[in-house]
């Protein structure tokens, strides 16, 4: 168990904007920061971070919370893992009790797979640097590739001994279970034997964006024709190759800072570029580029430069991934190296300044690159040229931005010497075809949805006002609970003649005290169980603590409740997403009239509550069908009188909520 002192130290030290900034490109928006959601694919930013409150909210997915819940949601960490990750980031020593065998036994499956992968990484890295076989074979190979000791350490490169079960035997001896060695693919288990998948290979650990080891790539160094040159970890609960980019952990900060990402194919391409001083580079690791991989980059930048080998055949096969990048609304450039060169070999022999200059001068817009590449095939063949033009228009049709589409069509018209009208008509035909297909799909979905829609129509037509009012109460408590405001009280006093009259007095209250007393007056309890739980917790917290700091308060909450609290807190900042001020629309802050806002909210809730009682009494009278309903009618009249008081206090006529 991690000590409470460590947990508190972590929360006091960690900054939510710094941690999330490692994963999402954030831009200033008033007092907050905003960016693209890391949980869903979107074009407009709906992800908000509040440095003041130390919380975040993703309005697209509905997720929200503090710095720890972000790591739990995004990296699928457990709570202890998130605390340890933050402690490592901020150089905080973790105090914890030693884990027993029983503790290890109850660790969840994914965590066990992460642990065994981390062990394997350390084992193979140690072998490379310290064991004779590792140094003679693996280290020699990496040195021949031109990798320095610092680079080998940075990427935690390793060597798996050329023995059937060296890793497996070592792991089992350290208490790791064969079950997880098999599930991560490190060990292949047969009926009568078990052996290492990567024996005799140099190793490339594959890390997540947060640095966790997910899997491995292993390269064989012998000329064994029966063995594959490269072997990767199989798909598992922690490793999905279509969702991972090699090098993203080391590249993420540089990508966000430079607002560009270089995309290459292999492990050594990434490593050699890093050693040459260019860190904003990732690899698809030999697999076809996927939408999930593109989304990883899209969280950090809108700009991708795809780097290709000088092999023309490989180029034609690789440019298919460009359409996916365009479809994601990203800007694509393409750079090809001289014939016979790849990113690894070129970066190895080219000084940093010359490499940077080469990339700047040779990175072409995708439309220019595609035309120059494929035009050699078409030459004077009109059929091939027509196919090429259509292929380029199909690529342009993937771009969601209509202005960019038009600019690219104009460029295509110039390069291919064909009229813009023809290209626009072709684009329109493609759009019409897609629209027809989408229409058919929509009709099918509507049939299935209609029944569900009818079922929900009545519910949706009546807005749950009580929930809205109760949420407002929680919001006020969270934002202004400890603020001292002047509230109007109605006191009953005797005048000079001795008659009892109403006298208005203005008295100072803490906002949370005013809310508590007002709801106690009518014995109102919040109906929504989540809001009720938060309300009770908040009132108790205010009663027991002199000060209120949002981040400390959230820290002691259950994760589910903490997410709900964060969502409520961030709702007031949601208008910042729309940049109202840039459109000369000013949003009046609630804290300009805290007392008025509080009073109106409480009166509205009390009014709703009383109206609900009136309706229940009416239903009860109709159901009982008594000849004498005088008692119930009297109660209704009393409650109606109370609603008139509320109306008078609010200073406006409000319609019934029923």
> 471 with 554, same domain?
yes
**9 pLDDT more than 60:** yes
pLDDT of residue 653: 31
When mean pLDDT is compared across 180-189, 231-240, 363-372, the lowest value belongs to 363-372
Q: What is the pLDDT of residue 452?
A: 43
Q: Is the separation of the CB atoms in 170 and 123 below 8 Å? A: yes
CATH number of residue 189's parent domain: 3.90.980.10
> Does residue 638 register a pLDDT over 90?
no
Considering 214, 239, 264, which residue would you say is the last residue of a domain?
A: 239
How much is the pTM?
Answer: 0.63
370 domain residue, yes or no: no
- For residues 112 and 80, state if they share a domain: no
- The length of the chain is 658
Q: Are residues 595 and 517 in the same domain?
A: yes
**Domain assignment of residue 369, yes or no:** no
Structural domain span for residue 228: 107-239
Could you say which of 202, 219, 239 is where a domain stops? 239
Contacts of 501 (CB under 8 A, 6+ apart): 492, 493, 494, 495
Domain assignment present for 27? yes
- On whether residue 256 sits in a domain, the answer given is no
Residue at 299 is within a domain: no
CA distance 636 to 562: 40
**Do residues 643 and 649 touch, judged by C-beta distance below 8 A?**
no
Are 35 and 119 part of one and the same domain?
A: no
377 token code pair: 């095939």
pLDDT reported for residue 583? 44
Could you read off the pLDDT of 286-326 as tens digits, one per residue? Answer: 677 888 899 889 888 889 999 987 665 556 556 667 888 88
Q: Domain count of the chain?
A: 3
**Alpha-helical segments (H) within 106-194:** 109-130, 132-133, 140-144, 149-154, 166-173, 178-183
536, 477: one domain = yes
Q: Tell me: do 199 and 82 sit in the same domain.
A: no
Q: Are residues 527 and 640 in the same domain?
A: yes
Task: Pick the more confident residue, 29 or 378.
Answer: 29
- Among the listed residues 555, 521, 518, 523, the one whose alpha carbon sits nearest the alpha carbon of residue 537: 555
**Confidence at residue 438, expressed as pLDDT on a 0 to 100 scale:** 47
382 in any annotated domain: no
Residues 128, 216, single domain; the answer is yes
Task: Give the pLDDT band of residue 268 (cuts 50, 70, 90).
Answer: very high
CA distance 50 to 67: 11
CATH number at residue 35: 3.90.580.10
Better-scored residue on pLDDT, 350 or 4: 350
DSSP string, 528-592: SHHHHHHHHHHHHHHHH-S---HHHHHHTS-HHHHHHHHHHHHHTTGGGGGTGGGGT-PPPPGGG
- Same domain assignment for residues 50 and 169: no
Q: Is residue 279 within 8 Å of 256, Cβ to Cβ?
A: no
pLDDT at 167 over 70: yes
The domain boundary, picked from 97, 131, 160, lies at 97
The reply to whether 602 and 469 lie within a common domain is: yes
Based on the domain organization, do 21 and 134 belong to the same domain? no
* Same domain flag for 50 and 178: no
Quick: pLDDT tens for 415-463: 777 888 888 888 777 766 654 554 555 455 445 445 444 444 444 434 4
* Neighbour count for residue 504 (Cβ, 10 Å): 8
- Both tokens of 608, joined, read 């709703």
The answer to whether residue 308 is domain-embedded is: no
User: Does some domain include residue 441?
Assistant: no
């Amino acid at each position: 168990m991690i000590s409470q002192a460590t947990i508190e130290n972590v929360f006091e030290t960690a900054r939510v904007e710094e941690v999330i900034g490692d994963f999402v490109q954030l831009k200033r928006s008033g007092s907050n920061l905003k960016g693209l959601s890391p949980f869903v694919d979107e074009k407009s930013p709906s992800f908000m971070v509040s440095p003041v409150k130390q919380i975040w909210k993703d309005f697209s997915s509905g997720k929200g919370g503090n710095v720890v819940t972000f790591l739990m949601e995004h990296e699928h960490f457990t709570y202890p893992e998130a605390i340890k990750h933050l402690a490592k980031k901020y150089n905080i020593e973790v105090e914890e009790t030693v884990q027993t065998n029983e503790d290890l036994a109850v660790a969840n499956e994914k965590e066990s797979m992460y642990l065994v992968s981390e062990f394997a990484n350390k084992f193979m890295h140690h072998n490379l640097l310290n064991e004779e076989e590792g140094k003679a074979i693996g280290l020699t190979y990496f040195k021949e590739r031109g990798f320095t000791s610092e680079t080998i350490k940075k990427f935690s490169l390793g060597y798996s001994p050329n023995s059937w079960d060296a890793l497996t035997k070592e792991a089992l001896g350290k208490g790791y279970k064969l079950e997880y060695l098999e599930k991560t693919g490190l060990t292949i288990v047969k009926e009568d034997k078990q052996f290492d998948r990567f024996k005799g290979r140099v190793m490339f650990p594959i890390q997540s964006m947060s640095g966790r080891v997910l899997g491995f790539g292993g390269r064989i160094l012998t000329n064994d024709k029966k063995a594959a040159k490269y072997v990767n970890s199989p798909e598992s609960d922690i490793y999905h190759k279509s969702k991972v980019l090699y090098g993203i952990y080391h590249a993420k900060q540089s990508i966000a800072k430079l607002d560009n990402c270089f995309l290459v194919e292999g492990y050594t391409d990434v490593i050699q570029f890093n050693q040459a001083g260019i860190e904003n580079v990732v690899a698809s690791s030999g697999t076809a580029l996927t939408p999930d991989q593109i989304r990883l980059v899209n969280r950090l930048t809108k700009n991708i430069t795809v780097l290709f080998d000088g092999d023309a055949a490989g180029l034609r096969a690789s440019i298919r991934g460009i359409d996916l990048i365009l479809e994601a609304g990203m800007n694509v450039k393409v750079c090809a190296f001289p014939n016979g060169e790849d990113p690894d070999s070129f970066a190895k022999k080219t000084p940093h300044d010359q490499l940077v200059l080469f990339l700047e001068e040779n990175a072409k817009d995708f439309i220019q690159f595609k035309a120059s590449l494929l035009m050699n095939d078409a030459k004077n063949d009109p059929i091939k040229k027509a196919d090429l033009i259509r292929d380029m228009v199909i690529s342009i049709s993937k771009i969601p931005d209509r202005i960019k589409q038009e600019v690219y069509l104009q460029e295509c018209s110039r390069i291919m010497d064909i009229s813009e009208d023809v290209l626009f008509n072709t684009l329109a035909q493609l759009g019409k075809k897609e629209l027809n297909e989408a229409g058919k799909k929509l009709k099918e979905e509507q049939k299935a949805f209609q029944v569900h829609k009818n079922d929900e129509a009545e519910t949706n037509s009546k807005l749950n006002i009580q929930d809205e009012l109760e949420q407002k109460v929680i919001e006020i408590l969270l934002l202004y609970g400890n603020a001292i405001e002047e509230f109007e009280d109605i006191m009953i006093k005797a005048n000079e003649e001795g008659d009892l009259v109403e006298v208005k007095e203005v008295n100072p209250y803490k906002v949370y005290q005013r809310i508590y007393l007002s709801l106690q007056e009518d014995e109102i309890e919040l109906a929504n169980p989540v809001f009720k739980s938060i309300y009770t917790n908040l009132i108790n917290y205010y009663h027991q603590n002199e000060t209120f700091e949002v981040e400390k308060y959230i820290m002691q909450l259950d994760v589910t409740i903490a997410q709900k609290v964060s969502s409520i807190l961030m709702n007031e900042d949601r208008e910042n997403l729309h940049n109202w001020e840039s459109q000369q629309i000013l949003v009046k802050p609630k804290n300009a009239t805290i007392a008025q806002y509080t009073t109106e909210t409480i009166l509205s809730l009390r009014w709703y509550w009383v109206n609900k009682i009136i309706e229940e009494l009416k239903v009860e009278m109709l159901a009982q069908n008594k000849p004498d309903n005088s008692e119930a009618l009297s109660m209704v009249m009393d409650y109606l009188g109370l609603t008139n008081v509320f109306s008078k206090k609010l200073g406006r006529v409000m319609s019934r909520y029923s």
